Amino acid sequence: MINCDVLILAVPFTDTDKPLQAPAVLKAVVQKHNFTACTYDLNYSLIKTHHEQADFLKQYFAFGTTNDYDKIVIAENFVQDTAKLLLNKYKPKFIAVSVFTYQCQTYSMLLAQNLKKIDPTIKIIFGGQGLTTQGIQSSDAWAEECKQLGLIDHYIISEGEEALINLLKEGKGKGIDNTDWEQKLDIDDNPYPDYGDYNLNEYDTKTLMITGSRGCVRRCSFCDIHKHWKRYVFRSGQSLADEMIHQSNKYKIYNFSFTDSLINGSMKAYRDFISVLSVYNASTDKKLTWGGQFIVRGISSMTEKDWLMTKQSGAKGLAVGVESGSEAVRDHMKKQFSDQDLDEFMEQANKNNVTLTFLMLLGYPTESHEDFLQTLKMFKRYKKYQSVIESVVLGTTLGILPGTPLAEEMAEDIEMNDGENFWTYKENPDLDFRERIKRRIITGEECVRMGYNVPGNHDNYKFLHYLWNVYKNKQKQTIVDLNTNDLQQQKYS
């Protein structure tokens, strides 16, 4: 049996074939402060399971509901067996559960319940963005309920690196069992994630996650990230390159994926980063590659030299928030780039063979029919760049989330109609939910016809069809499961 101060778990369900970063980050921090820690990726264990009911288990843990209630015992027994396995292998003082999204809540509660049944003295901590259930600025009601039910002893809201150490040392602190957390402004001194307990060879995608910043330099109207991270803080480019080089040598994995809202927020740090990696890649046979979310910048902001070093540093698969082909729509979104900036950006990406993913938002409140046509024209115009546009992510239609500038600054002019996707804008009444669905379907069909890769297109159509039935029947959009039409049996999102 392995003794440790804290056992840190990644739990289902997150649909990823990459090792989740949070346990590895927390293990490194815990060890830095002279505590002992072990990690276990239960999420990937489920993804790779040969259980005969694997599909049901993933669906049930993600959505917390099923249309066959006789099967619930299968999920309960699965988690019970996992709890026994953990406590037979480890003897921790604390078990810290990384609740990555709300889709990890069902499993987390079942696991905590079973752990407490086996060992009532075990101390359980929940942490992660999944503690909130209604968007990033939500309350801690679910976590507090878990605590009141006796399932957990503590929960941590954000900045877990600081709070977990305070909990281990003092048993209390900011962000522990409360929402009064403080943002860490210096993130250069965080230790590198420790994947020593992960069997990285088993993961289908050989990629390690890396974090270079928190927050965002933009304040896009549809995004609520600024409500969480009050300030944009970033690491030095040198420290990022050093981590990638160190981790690649240690784990023999050479591709990295940034968790940041954006990679090139600070151009000084970005230039330092790509400069170091360009030199490194030129001197090694094991060249590093990386990707993540990226801001569109014109040639005056991101020069030809920047682009050359971007290529040489190993950039690929950059996820670019293009959102719309209409400059007027993007201006209202506060995206802060023009059509000319986008054209220059695409020309340089193509010239340097840096691959991209387009992230789109269809059906923005101010989007006129002409704006919509401009988006279609943009895709037609950019067919010449299809060799570097790996995919176009269209999603469904724009949902207006609480805490976003759209929700707060246009509240008097927007009627939500019982659903984040069902809104109407009084200044653009023709753009109702039906029209937005129509534009989304047309865009998907046209992109496919023009030869673009549109991942998840069929699933998005399925979701829109489902939402349309909810909307048509004047029901509230509070469901996440598509497997039953009985709205009373749905899990609230």
259's tokens: 């968790």
- Strand segments, DSSP code E, in 2-130 are 2-10, 37-41, 90-98, 123-127
Which residue type, as a one-letter code, is found at position 373? L
Q: What percent of the chain has pLDDT over 70?
A: 93
Query: How would residue 474 be classed by pLDDT, with cut points 50, 70 and 90?
Result: confident
Q: What is the pTM of this model?
A: 0.85
Q: How far apart are CA 160 and CA 183, in angstroms?
A: 10
For residue 324, give the nearest of 275, 360, 368, 281 by alpha carbon: 360
The pLDDT, as a whole number, for residue 201 is: 92
User: Which tens digit of pLDDT belongs to each residue from 345-398?
Assistant: 999 999 999 999 999 999 999 999 999 999 999 999 999 999 999 999 999 899
Q: Determine whether 170 is exposed, middle or buried from the number of CB atoms within 10 Å of its CB (0-12, 13-18, 19+).
A: exposed
C-alpha to C-alpha distance for 425 and 108, rounded to whole angstroms: 39
Distances in whole angstroms, Cα of residue 474 to Cα of each of 422, 469, 486: 10, 9, 14
Tens-place pLDDT, residues 189-201? 889 999 999 999 9
CB 74, CB 57: distance < 8 Å: yes
Q: 4 - beta bridge partners?
A: 92
Domains of the chain: 2-170 (3.40.50.280), 200-489 (3.80.30.20)
pLDDT of res. 183: 73
Element (H, E) at 26: helix 22-32
CB 195 within 8 A of CB 41: no
DSSP code of 299?
T
- What is the rounded CA–CA span in Å between residue 481 and residue 66? 8
Instruction: Express each pLDDT in 83-137 by its tens digit.
Output: 999 999 999 999 999 998 888 999 999 999 999 999 999 999 999 888 875 444 4
Please report the pLDDT score of residue 479 as a whole number.
41
Q: Please give the Cα distance from 154 to 178 (Å, whole number).
A: 10
pLDDT for the residue numbered 375? 98
In the predicted structure, residue 42 carries a pLDDT above the cut 60: yes
**Site of tokens 């840190």:** 8
Determine the Cα–Cα distance for residues 89 and 111; give it in Å rounded to an integer. Answer: 16
| pLDDT of 338 | 97
Contact (Cβ atoms closer than 8 angstroms) between residue 4 and residue 37: yes
- Number of other residues whose CB lies within 10 A of the CB of residue 360: 21
- DSSP state at residue 233: E
Burial label, 252 (beta-carbon count in 10 A; 0-12, 13-18, 19+): exposed
- Stretch 13-21: mean pLDDT, rounded? 89
61-75: average pLDDT: 83
Q: What is the pLDDT of residue 382?
A: 98
Lowest mean pLDDT across 173-177, 218-222, 418-422, 463-467:
218-222
CA distance 127 to 105: 11
For residue 478, the model assigns a pLDDT of 53
